[in-house]
Structure formats: structure tokens, C-alpha cells
């Protein structure tokens, strides 16, 4: 017999911060990509804002990634969708993201 795991079962919350902003994102409010993340927030974040993300992917230790906001679309009424592009990733951090992003969008069966 198999049971599905949701994204919430696989991922923990995510912390995103800049000098002016600190966000704790639930697993359902962000998507991990090979070169960054997309997340939802209630407040606008200006393009080119530098942010740091604390990530812990399944089976790995926590690691930090720094990136810049490349897009922020939406309104204060419906919220904002933010795209953050990672910059200066180490080879090991890039490999972790590559490995994880290939399975992140599919349902995991146990």
C-alpha cells in the first residue's frame, strides 16, 4: 500500500530576509527552482533587493543562499508573487538545488 506525501510533508518552512524584511514562508507558499525560488507575500519587495534564504532540503543540512529579486507582481489586495534569483551559489549548493528541483514538483510515493 502506498501513501502520498504532500509538499508540506517533505519541506519545512523557509526563512527569507533582507535588511528591511524578514519572512517565514510555509511550504505551500514557495517553489524551489534550480536557480532560485518563487514565493508569495503580502507586501511588495522592490526589484534588485538582495535577500538571504535559509534552506533545508530533505536529507541535507541547512544552508544559506543569497539572491536578488528579479520580479515582484501583484497588488496589496491579492498579494505579491516574488521571483528571487540565486547568485554566487557554491557547487554543492547548486547540486542540492538541481537534485531537489527535479523532484519537487511531483508527488512522492512511499
Q: How far apart are CA 40 and CA 94, in angstroms?
A: 23
Could you write out the three-class secondary structure of the chain? CCCEECHHHHCCCEEEECCCCEEEECHHHEEEECCEEEEEECCCCCCCCEEEEEECCCCCCCEEEEEEEEEEEEECCCEEEEEEEEECCCHHHHHHHHHHHHHHCCCEEC
Classify residue 86: in a domain, yes or no. Answer: yes
Q: For residue 84, is it within any domain?
A: yes
pLDDT for res 88:
86
Task: Report if residue 18 sits inside a domain.
Answer: no
- Whether 13 is in a domain gets the answer no
pLDDT, position 30: 85
For residue 12, the model assigns a pLDDT of: 63
Reply yes or no on whether the pLDDT at 34 is more than 50.
Answer: yes
Q: Residue range 51-69: average pLDDT?
A: 83
- Within a domain: 23: no
Q: Which domain holds residue 86?
A: 28-105
pLDDT tens across 92-103, in order?
888 888 877 665
Report the predicted TM-score, pTM, of the whole model to 2 decimal places. 0.76
The number of distinct structural domains making up the chain is 1
b (16+ CB within 10 A) / e for 33-56: beebbebbbeeebeeebebebebe
Domain presence at residue 12:
no
Amino acid at each position: 500500500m502506498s501513501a502520498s506525501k504532500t509538499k508540506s510533508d517533505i519541506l519545512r518552512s523557509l526563512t527569507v530576509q533582507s535588511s528591511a524584511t524578514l519572512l517565514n514562508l510555509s511550504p505551500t507558499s514557495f517553489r524551489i527552482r534550480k536557480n532560485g525560488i518563487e514565493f508569495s507575500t503580502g507586501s511588495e519587495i522592490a526589484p534588485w533587493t538582495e535577500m538571504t534564504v535559509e534552506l533545508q532540503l530533505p536529507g541535507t543540512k541547512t544552508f544559506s543562499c543569497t539572491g536578488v529579486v528579479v520580479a515582484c507582481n501583484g497588488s496589496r489586495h491579492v498579494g505579491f508573487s516574488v521571483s528571487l534569483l540565486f547568485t554566487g551559489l557554491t557547487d554543492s549548493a547548486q547540486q542540492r538545488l538541481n537534485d531537489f528541483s527535479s523532484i519537487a514538483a511531483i508527488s512522492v510515493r512511499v
